[in-house]
Each structure stands twice: as structure tokens, then as C-alpha cells.
Amino acid sequence: MESSDRGENGTPKYHQANPETMSEEGQQKERDYRKKLNRDAREVVSDSIHKGVKLIVHRPDYDREAQEEYDSLSKELVPVVREIARKTLPLLEHETSAEFARNQYYGSKFQADSVAYKDFRYFAKKLPPTESPSLVVGLRVDESASMAAFGRLEAAKRAVIAVYEFCQLCHIPIMIYGDTADASKLEQMSIYAYTDWDKTDSNDRFRLMGIRARSNNRDGMALRIMADRLAGSAQLTKLLISISDGQPKAMDDYTGNYAIKDMQQTIAEYERKGITFLAAAIGQDKDVINQIYGNERFLDITNLTELPAKLVRIISRYL
């Protein structure tokens, strides 16, 4: 529960509510939601090179340990995010609206067909913005085994916390998915749906602590699934950011030029559908990631401590 009392730095103080056992109806809704995620994801890849890959979409849970980890990692991040949001929100108040109110005594657009009524309401003016920013954000996190090295996993967690909290403050729809490949023969591709605008939950921030370094990575499949979700959203600007430390590699032969070509074809296909791709490279394969995404979509994150604030500022530029 969020207290109305705030600390000296303006950050909220969270207090643990008494957890309630989910009702049978709630559990059924959760199962139905997971089934929908799995069904939709499998349909998206059914006409791609990934159609034979055994896929499972998970909806991770959270526990007390996850909440404590979130509190620890977010302590320094939240004030920075709030400051960026504080500077961004006034700009959103002046966001222009595309809708015009007709039959006004004054305005910026003359309506010639209104002259016939002779009531002097010959103008139209833009309506004030009443909706949230026309931006939707997807954040994809590579959960390959190599993310365990050199502090990359903690950097990724700090980044997703920053992006999630910024989007909450600015009322931006956000989905954060992680993925890995080859967990088992029956689960060749794993997607972890931590947050999604279809099913918002204030406890999603704790689910984010479930991000792990797991196995291999089948990047093109993850990008396709997330890009397709974004393409179906109503927002005008659709931004998909991938945090990754290495080039794609999964069994049996998803590697090298074959995997790179798949990723590039996926990016090209969904850019035509209005998706903007960005790649935050945080590992040793930066040159390959640059080659895959291209200079205009590539973010070289040399200093991992800069990743959270850097991503938030980049998102704010698309508002």
C-alpha cells in the first residue's frame, strides 16, 4: 500500500498490505489470461521460421524476497525517475490534439459551411488534450545465461524498474517481457510476461525482480511476439527497446547469419507497421548487435550505471 506521507526526497513509502488469498474466480481469470497470452503468441509465430518451436508464456509470481529486492534497487532510482518525469509532465499538458470542436465564435480554423447558419459560430478550435500520451512502450529483456556476468543482470533490473516507474508516472502503457531459449526439449522458447497494459497490477513492479540469467536466446522470436502486440495498440508511437548482452544463439541452428537475417527481417517487417526499434547493448557482442539493428537503432551502454536514466530520457523524447 502506498502511504500519502512522503519522504524528504519526495519518494513514496510503501507498506506491505495483508495479502489476501486469491479467490477461485481470480485464479481462473489468471489461468485464462495465461492461456490467452500463449494462444496469441503461438498464433503470431505460426507463419514464421519459429512455427515449430515449442513455446510457453509464463506469468511470473512474486514473494516477500522480490519485494525486498525491489525496495533495495529502487531506493536510489525513484528520485531520479521522478525528477525526469517532473520535467516531462508539463510538456504533456500542452500536447496538441488532432480533434476540432466545431461551431465556435472564435478559433484557429474557419468552417465555411457554418456561415449558412448566420449565428457567427464560423470557427473550429482544437480540443484540449484529455487522454494520456499517444505512446506505448515495450521493453524486452534478454535472459540468456551470459547476463549473469559483470553485473549485467542487476543493471537490467535497475533499468526495468526505472522504465516501469517512469511510465506509471506519465500514464504510458508499458509491457515488459523477458525471454530465454532451450529450457528443455518441451520448452524451446520461454517468454516471461512481467507487465502488460492488458492486465495492470500495482504488484507488477515486484514481478520484475523475477528476471534471471537462464539459458540461450532466440531474439527474433521474442521481438516478433512483442512487436505484434505493440502493432495492435491504439497509440500513434510504438517503441520497442531490447536490452541484450549478446548475439542470438539457440538450438538447433538458430545462430550466425541465419539468426541475424531473421532478426533483420522481423525489424523491417514491423517497422512498416509503425514500430520503432532500439537496442541497448550491454555486453561483449556490441558490434554484432550494432550490425543487426543498424546505427540509428543502436545504443552503446558502456557504463552500466547509466542505463536506467539513459533509457528513461530516451523514452521521454518520444512523448
pLDDT in tens, 77-110: 999 999 999 988 876 655 444 454 555 555 555 5
How much is the pLDDT for 24? 84
For residue 17 the three cell numbers come to 498490505
Count of CB atoms situated within 10 Å of the CB of 55: 21
Residues sharing a CB contact under 8 Å with residue 248, sequence separation 6 or more, in sequence order: 217, 218, 219, 220, 254, 255, 259, 260, 262, 263
- Lookup: cell for 18: 495483508
Residue 294 φ/ψ region, left for φ over 0, alpha for ψ in the -120 to 50 degree band, beta for the rest:
left
Q: Check residue 147 and give its pLDDT.
A: 93
d(CA 17, CA 97): 40
Decide: helix, strand or coil at residue 284.
coil
- What average pLDDT does range 221-225 have in this prediction? 98
Measured CA to CA, the distance from residue 295 to residue 290 in angstroms comes to 6
Would you call 194 helix, strand, or coil by DSSP? strand
| Whole-structure pTM value | 0.81
Listed in sequence order, the DSSP H helices in the chain are 24-45, 64-93, 152-169, 204-207, 219-231, 256-271, 286-293, 307-317
Q: Is the pLDDT of residue 36 over 90?
A: yes
The pLDDT confidence band at residue 6, using thresholds 50, 70 and 90, is very low
3-state secondary structure 94-158: CCCCCCEEEEECCCCEECHHHHHHCCCCCEEEECCCCCCCCEEEEEEEECEHHHHCCCHHHHHHH
CB 303 within 8 A of CB 280: no
Check residue 135 and give its pLDDT: 94
Residues 289, 294, 299, CA angle at the centre, nearest 5°? 65
* 241-288: pLDDT as tens digits: 999 988 899 998 999 999 999 999 999 999 999 999 999 989 878 888
What digits encode the pLDDT tens for the residues 146-169?
A: 999 999 999 999 999 999 999 999
- In this predicted model, what pLDDT tens digit does every residue of 155-212 receive, in sequence order? 999 999 999 999 999 999 999 999 999 999 999 999 999 999 988 888 999 999 999 9
Mean pLDDT throughout 48-66? 95
pLDDT at residue 91, as a whole number: 61
pLDDT value of position 96: 42
List the strands of the sheet with 135-142, edge to edge. Answer: 55-58, 187-195, 174-184, 135-142, 237-244, 275-281, 298-300
For residue range 114-132, list pLDDT tens digits in order: 555 455 555 655 545 445 5
Q: Which of 148, 144, 208 is nearest to 175 (CA)?
A: 208
What was the pLDDT predicted at 77?
92
Distance CA 219, CA 266 (A): 10
* Mean pLDDT value of segment 64-75: 95
Give the pLDDT of residue 197. Answer: 92
Spacing of C-alpha 40 from chain mean position: 18
Q: How far apart (Å, rounded) are the C-alpha atoms in residues 121 and 105?
A: 4
Q: Residue 196, preceding bond cis, omega within 30 degrees?
A: no
Closest C-alpha to 162, from 298, 3, 310, 62: 310
